[in-house]
Amino acid sequence: MPSQAERKRARTRTKPNVARKVKSSSFSWEAVAFAILIAAASSTYYYFNYSKISLLPVSSESTEQDFKEDVPRTPWEPTPDNSIFNVVDIPGKGKGVIAGRDIKQGELVLRDRPLFILPRAINGSPIEPIIEKLTQLTPEEQEAFFELSFVNFPTHLNPEEHPAEVALAIFQTNAVSTGDGVGIFPTMARLNHGCSSAFNVVYMWRPEENQIVVHALKDVKQGEELITTYTNTRRPRDQRRAFLQDHYGFHCTCAVCSLPDDLSKASDERLSKISYLYEKFAGWGRQEIDGTQAIEYIREIWRIENEEGYTSERGSLSADAAWIAAAHSDANATQAWAEKAIHWFTAEIGADTPQVVTLEVIVDHPQRHRAWGTRDAMDVGGPDQASGESGFNLSK
Ligand SMILES: [Zn+2]
């Protein structure tokens, strides 16, 4: 997926005939298969952080797709350059994606269909199914695949002479989770990574549409790089960098990782506090805290996120708050949090999602929330109006 500096070293322009010389590998395929699972799992940033306490029914349902081998493949097409972005060479980072014009928060930036999808679990060598899929692609699609960057190529092998291993390395580097499968999305793969407040677009797999959609989490100025995140970055810089080095082969130099040490330390403390508070509020699901306490944790998360400039996952956070409010039969709070959730889900994953459609009903009829009245009645409170959200283009 990424094209950061280190992976540039391993890059090759080889476009081999993939139908030949597949069998001559000297790899341990078992080890490689394991590595694929690790890389792919770490690519599912948005899914696995979707709802900390799995409160919202639509969020848990959306993770339950079966892998369907027999679904007819929709041909991949290069995204037409319609001015919203351009894929360009970025010094020190390989390829990257630049906004071709100003982009508004919540705008749909990209739809990308997979070149192919493989099951998450593969028995035996993963190289054969990869090659099989590649041989089914058009020459243009094959070219799109082999133009992607890769890391962790065995140093004792020459990429020019080992196209099958190159294909595998590309797959490992770029595969993104699609529920029970892992897929290759050639345009989306060009998005580079940033941590915490440094990413400005978010991707999501839509199984019913067989595509990944990318939305702008924040306003983006023309000429700015569009940056997504490959993992949960609500952890300190050292941990983020170690993870990204291990899984994606680059040393992160995003705007947050590049902060001077004192500012970086302050950011680390905020991110650690946010993670800590997420765990605390999840205690509501285990009946360890009451609704008022849970909502106060959520408000505190919100305040610290404002300081940090971290605005991702607020749709699911607000939806969880709406769930808690509904469970305690607090109609006003349910409505207020549902409105928040609609706003942020719309920005991050789109207005045409089941999350938004479901919550629109709840805004008008809070008593129809499926959690309604399942805990003791209590005024838990709505969003913290005093904290404000200036700078994030919010009207709600
Ligand atoms: Zn970083």
Tokens of 280: 């605390």
Measured at the alpha carbon of residue 250, what is the angle toward residues 244 and 252, in degrees to the nearest 5? 70
Distance 37 CA to ligand 1 centre (A): 23
DSSP-based three-state secondary structure for 239: helix
What is the band of 76 on the pLDDT scale with cuts at 50, 70, 90?
low
Distance 244 CA to ligand 1 centre (A): 9
pLDDT at 359 over 70: yes
What is the band of 74 on the pLDDT scale with cuts at 50, 70, 90?
low
- What pLDDT shows up at residue 40? 41
What is the band of 73 on the pLDDT scale with cuts at 50, 70, 90?
low
265-319 pLDDT per residue, tens: 999 999 999 999 999 999 999 999 999 999 999 999 999 999 999 999 999 999 9
- What pLDDT shows up at residue 150? 85
- What pLDDT shows up at residue 122? 77
Name the percent of the chain lying above pLDDT 70. Answer: 76
Buried b (16+ CB within 10 A) or exposed e, 132-150: ebbeebeeebbebbbbbbb
Distance 255 CA to ligand 1 centre (A): 7
Q: What is the DSSP letter of 189?
A: G
- What pLDDT shows up at residue 49? 35
| 246 Cβ contact partners less than 8 Å away, ≥ 6 residues apart | none
- Identify whether the C-beta of residue 228 lies closer than 8 Å to the C-beta of residue 201: yes
Average of per-residue pLDDT across 63-84:
52
Tokens of 310: 């971290």
117-126 pLDDT per residue, tens: 998 887 777 8
- What pLDDT shows up at residue 342? 95
Tokens of 278: 């997420």
- Identify whether the C-beta of residue 180 lies closer than 8 Å to the C-beta of residue 35: no
DSSP-based three-state secondary structure for 211: strand
- What pLDDT shows up at residue 149? 87
- What pLDDT shows up at residue 195? 97
Distance 6 CA to ligand 1 centre (A): 14
Q: Residue 216: name the closest of 97, 79, 383, 120 by CA.
A: 97
Tokens of 264: 């970086």
pLDDT at 327 over 60: yes
Compute the residue count for the chain: 396
Distance 149 CA to ligand 1 centre (A): 19
Rounded CA gap, 183 and 179, in Å? 10
Other beta carbons within 10 Å of 386 = 7
pTM for this predicted structure: 0.78
